[in-house]
Structure formats: structure tokens, C-alpha cells
Amino acid sequence: MTRVTDASAPQTTLPTGRAPVVAAVLMIVAGVGGLVGAFELTLDKFRLLGNPTQALGCDVNPFVGCTNVINSWQASLFGFPNPILGLIGFSVVVAVAVGLLAGARFARWFWVGLTVGVLLAWVFITWLFVQTVFVIGSLCPWCMLVWSVTIPLFWIFTTWGLARGVTVRRGRVQRLAARFLPYSWVLPVLNYVVVATVVLVKFPLLLPLLLG
């Protein structure tokens, strides 16, 4: 018996083509970068547990250092070190990206869940950025690596998901997102500009210190 399908019915799996490859590469780069940052933060946490007075390699100057950040309550918001979330989350991102490159197709509920996860990650690192700059008063290099990869992962991945119809099945939204997709890099750039501006305003001596 031949199965008849409705051509007008919305897709529930990821479309094939060049776009998934580009998205997968972005996810791998961001995922690996995030894993490196989370792994180094985890190692530094172990080092400080073993020797609280140990100087960490990421303690560069009075404005840039990991120790004050790692020892803060914000670094263990849920009762365990935040980098553990990064190790889990970025591993999922890399695994999904490898699956895409291998030709895997995922159900719509999976993409919705992943998009929500990426959104929560962006909200979390934004909160951590505010806490680091305005409360703790120190910039953690490995934290900044995690921030720098989460920002484009969120903005570009979200726009791509809307444009491909894997998260929202509304024609108008999908068409608008598809038109904007080639320019989606503008969003993370603007996010970077906001972050850099806040840092330079809050730490006016940082740039001369680094350049000197």
C-alpha cells in the first residue's frame, strides 16, 4: 500500500541541505570552545579546593582573574560548580552537531527543547556577566571564553531554527527569520559590543593596563 502524505503539512524533522552543515559547524566550534572553558574552570576549582592560596594561571592582573570568581557564591548557584552545567550542555551541543553532519534527523520537540536550553544558557551567562562585572569586580578569562561562544550560539542558532521552521511553525515568522538569517551575525556582534562597552566603562584602567 502506498502511503499518501500531505505536501502542505509542516515538517517535523530538520530539512537537509547546506544550512544544517553551517549550523553544525557553528555548534561544534562553540561547543568545543565552551567545553575548554568549562573544563579549565573545573580544574581550577579542584586546584583551589586542594590549595586555597594557590595562584591560578588565569590570574593576570587586578582586573582579570579567576580566583575571586570561582570562590564566589555565584560560581555555585545551584549548589555545585557552574562549570558542571557547561560540561554537560556543551557536550550535548557537540553531539547534536556531529549527528547533523552524519545525516541524523531530529523531531521538532527535540529542537524546541534544545532551543530552550540554549536560551537558558544565554540568560545564565548574561546574569553571570552582570554579577562578575558589577558585584564581584573581576573578569575571569575562562568565563569570558564560555560567554563568547554562548552568545553567537544563541543568536544564530535561534534565528536559524526559526528560519528553518524547526521551532515555530508560523509562516510569517519563518519568512521573516529566513530573510534575516544571512544577517544574523549582526545580533552577536551587537551583543559583543554591549559587553565590551560595559567592561570598558566599568574597568577604565583595564585597556591601558593590557596595552602597557
pTM beyond 0.95: the answer is no
Distance, in Å, from the CA atom of 145 to the CA atom of 151, rounded to the nearest integer, reads: 10
Q: What is the Cα–Cα distance from 30 to 20, expressed in whole angstroms?
A: 15
Instruction: Give the residue among 127, 125, 118, 124 at the shortest CA–CA distance from 93.
Output: 118
CA–CA dist 13, 56 (Å, integer): 46
pLDDT number for residue 28:
96
Segments forming the whole domain that contains residue 89: 18-203
* Helix, strand, coil content of the chain in percent (nearest 5): 70, 0, 30
User: What integer pLDDT is reported at residue 56 of this predicted model?
Assistant: 92
Per-residue pLDDT of the chain (212 residues; tens, 9 = 90+): 444 444 444 443 444 445 578 889 999 999 999 999 999 999 999 999 999 998 899 999 889 999 999 999 999 999 999 999 999 999 999 999 999 999 998 888 998 999 999 999 999 999 999 999 999 999 999 999 999 999 999 998 888 888 888 777 778 888 898 898 889 999 999 999 999 999 999 998 888 877 87
Judge whether 79 lies within some domain: yes
Query: What's the confidence (pLDDT) of residue 49?
Result: 94
Buried b (16+ CB within 10 A) or exposed e, 119-142: eebbebbbebbebbbeebebbbbb
Torsion sign over Cα 73, 78, 84, 90 = negative
Q: How many domains does the chain have?
A: 1
Report the C-alpha gap between 105 and 16 in whole angstroms: 9
Residue 6 lies in a domain: no
Q: Does the residue 41 lie in any domain? A: yes
d(CA 199, CA 164): 35
Q: Count Cβ atoms below 10 Å from residue 26 Cβ, excluding itself.
A: 18
CATH of the domain at 34: 1.20.1440.130
CA distance 72 to 131: 10
